[in-house]
Structure 1
Amino acid sequence: MQLYSSSRVRSESYKVVRQRKWKPPNPGEYKTNSDGAMFTKSDEVGLGVVVRDSNGLVGAAMAEKIKQPHSVECLEMLAARRAMIFVKEIGLQESHFEGDSEVVIKQLQRDGSLFSSTGHLARDTLSHVSSLRSFSFAHMVRQYNAVVHTLI
């Protein structure tokens, strides 16, 4: 995988941009989408992650089940955290992260500084991307995060 070289990127604005459809990253870059899903008949939830290149081709994907957390917000933050860990596991040094939870994206953009029940998870999640050369966060409208939904 060829990666682009750039300085560390983080959205400085707290305004969340809602993407209406998935757009590929620039050539040589990667986008990582994540999502969580609750299963009504068990005490488990699913976490899904998909990494795609500038052609929209899936370079890596993963899904796993974990014990159900205390809230949907917590589930979405755990999915974002798993995405960041997965990016490091597959050896990427840069990625644009997208998710369909506006609350989670706002927390990550603000360095986890929002006071909420998932603030500690947001800070832990950010610790996983601190070693990356470049990263960014964007909110993706739920229906355009569908590629991840097929995994979980």
Structure 2
Amino acid sequence: MTALDAAQAALAAEHAAVYGYGVVGARVGEARRAEATAAYEGHRARRDALRRTVRDLGGEPVAAAAGYALPFAVPDPAAAVRLAAVLEDRVAGVYSDLVRSADGPLRKEAAAALREAAVRAVRWRGSDVTFPGLAERA
């Protein structure tokens, strides 16, 4: 996988995360709404940075889809919390690919994004995984 391919995949995952956090924010309980808002804003910032990165690598940034299929129904706050953890796991997975594919400052930025997603996943889930970004590949 090239750095451009991995950056495009990360961008697509960030688009999906922004969409997913719209659902999380609408369903999560009041006690965790600020956390959902912060995650939403973080993913928007990463998405915008990745658009620039893709252009810098010579690509045309992948556009967001009009909508995304959620992995399960999100009828209540508990499901919203589970969705947030899944979103972070998915984002961590694509950033692990970008860490492997990139070098220099892009690799450092991808590692930081992977770390942020892993930390958010732990906060949402209440537990960690041994190798963040690789769990969904098992």
More strand by share: 1
TM over 0.5: no
TM-score range, shorter chain: 0.3 to 0.5
Report the TM-score when normalising by structure 1: 0.34
Report the TM-score when normalising by structure 2: 0.36
More helix by share: 2
